[in-house]
Amino acid sequence: MFLRILDRLEEIIIASLMGAATLITFVTVVHRFLVDVPVLYPYLFWINLAWSQELCIYMFIWMAKFGAAYGVRTGIHVGVDVLIKRLNDGWRKGVILFGLLGGALFTAIVGTMGAKFVFELMSTDQVSPDLEIPSWIVYGCIPLGSYLMCFRFLQVCWHYFKTGELPHHDATNVDGIEVSKDAPIAMGEA
């Protein structure tokens, strides 16, 4: 139950940040072009959207940190496994577990150092340039995203240890759509 809620929350955060950043960027670009229209100039000139670029940058950084954890969970990260596939089963399992635990250790270290940095920022009055929000909020994605990614590495590691299966992303799969056996593209006959 907890994992389903966490999975869904992770997906909602990523999609919301991506959608909001795209919408803000669209509005900013449209504003930039419409302000040059003489009839609209008196109305649009006073709208200041200088903050939008900074906000979008922060939103994409947060999205990338949570997206990296999502990538570990779903198996969409790019990996080079040419040598690993040539190993015998015992060595292969050991190398994969070592890699997953190494990823967990690395992200735990980054998360801990990020948390230390954020806690130190909380005691300062440092704010972002345009939005003037506390800097610790901006950098909060480092420990949150890193610890979530560490948890996902450990989750995948445990699942692999128990079942011998890694998450695999199928780019041709669309949830809710069944593939017909007669479809030439689905079967690779095209």
Each residue of 121-143: pLDDT tens digit? 999 999 999 999 999 999 999 99
pTM of the model: 0.85
In degrees, to the nearest 5, what angle opens at C-alpha 158 toward C-alphas 154 and 162? 170
At residue 37, what are phi and psi to the nearest 5 degrees?
-80, 120
d(CA 95, CA 149): 19
Please give the average per-residue pLDDT across 19-25, as a whole number.
97
Amino acid code (one letter) for 77? H
Would you state the structure tokens that stand for residue 60, as one six-digit string?
A: 């994409």
pLDDT > 80? residue 43: yes
Q: What is the pLDDT of residues 52-87, one digit of tens each?
A: 999 999 999 999 999 999 999 999 887 778 889 899
To the nearest whole percent, how much of the chain has pLDDT over 90? 82
3-class secondary-structure state, position 163: helix
Of 70, 62, 64, the closest CA to residue 153 belongs to 70
Cα dihedral angle (15, 18, 23, 29), rounded to 10 degrees?
Answer: -170
Q: What is the DSSP letter of 56?
A: H
